[in-house]
Amino acid sequence: IAVGPDDALWFTEHRAHRIGRIALDGKVEEFTVPTAECGPFGIAAGPDGALWFTETAADRIGRITTDGRVTEFPLPATGAYPSAITAGADDGMWFTLNQADAIGRIGMDGAVTLHPLPTRSAAPVGIAAGHDGAVWFVEIGAGQIGRITPDGGITEFPLPDRTSRPHAITPGSDGTLWFTEWAGNRVGSLTPDGTVTVHDLPTPGSEPHGIALGPDGALWTALEIGALARVGVRVRTQQSNEQRGNEREC
């Protein structure tokens, strides 16, 4: 799901092979994608005023205008399973190719570039633009967080638990990247210098999936047990020698 330039929410219907739009008054519209059984999945607003989405079963990237016109762009790969997508700082759309172990970029002119990952069977899924001008992603198959620069330079950061199955990633308000560990029952953070911290969730087996920064400055994650978890960001401030340190939740 993504916020569109028209202030409506746009979402993919993976099994119905449609793109949906819901306005603030609750009115819902649905738009059929031209390619049958294409399996739309990730969606994000682009710099051109349209929404861009992935077609997992058709090896295509789609573009839909706010009035419902759809254009599709074939990828130079077969069985690649394009998954999540995000707008980069370079005015391109960046996406993960889960089965091709690669990160892709499509420009507003439809030109596609693929960047193979150094790690085999990395199976990237979630992807998000960072505050540093790079794009960050998770490797669910390798237990790593990846970073790719606009020129295609890739850095990988192994997680303490390589079997944790990281699934989604989003930047926090201070530039720290936050991610879910689906199999590890944790939410983790990664600073731009590569420092990883993980936080256990209180309910065992909750299977965290998506994650997003909320308007309250906290991180919110969707759990497969049918609940949402809020992760408050704690900031420690140093007071005078006569005063105790104070910890507050933002």
> pLDDT tens, position by position, for the chain (250 residues)?
999 999 999 999 999 999 999 999 999 999 999 999 999 999 999 999 999 999 999 999 999 999 999 999 999 999 999 999 999 999 999 999 999 999 999 999 999 999 999 999 999 999 999 999 999 999 999 999 999 999 999 999 999 999 999 999 999 999 999 999 999 999 999 998 889 999 999 999 999 999 999 999 999 999 999 999 999 876 433 333 333 333 223 2
Three-state secondary-structure class, residue 211? strand
Q: Is 115 a catalytic residue?
A: no
25: number of Cβ within 10 Å? 6
What confidence score (pLDDT) does residue 234 get?
62
- Residue 28 resides in a domain: no
Tokens of 217: 């400055």
> Are the beta carbons of 199 and 219 closer than 8 angstroms?
no
- Residue 158 resides in a domain: yes
- Residue 29 resides in a domain: no
What confidence score (pLDDT) does residue 29 get?
98
What confidence score (pLDDT) does residue 193 get?
85
Please tell me the total count of domains within the chain. Answer: 1
What confidence score (pLDDT) does residue 54 get?
98
Give the domain CATH number at 179. Answer: 2.130.10.10
The catalytic position among 14, 131, 199, 209 is 209
- Residue 92 resides in a domain: yes
161: number of Cβ within 10 Å? 15
- Residue 65 resides in a domain: no
Distances in whole angstroms, Cα of residue 180 to Cα of each of 77, 145, 207, 231 = 28, 11, 9, 11
Concatenate the DSSP letters of all residues of 69-125 into one string.
-EEEEE-S-SS--EEEEEE-TTS-EEEEETTTTEEEEE-TT--EEEEE-SSTT--EE
CA–CA separation, 145 vs 138, rounded Å?
5
> Are the beta carbons of 95 and 104 closer than 8 angstroms?
yes
- Residue 51 resides in a domain: no
- Residue 49 resides in a domain: no
Domain that residue 241 falls in: 75-249
What confidence score (pLDDT) does residue 219 get?
96
- Residue 59 resides in a domain: no
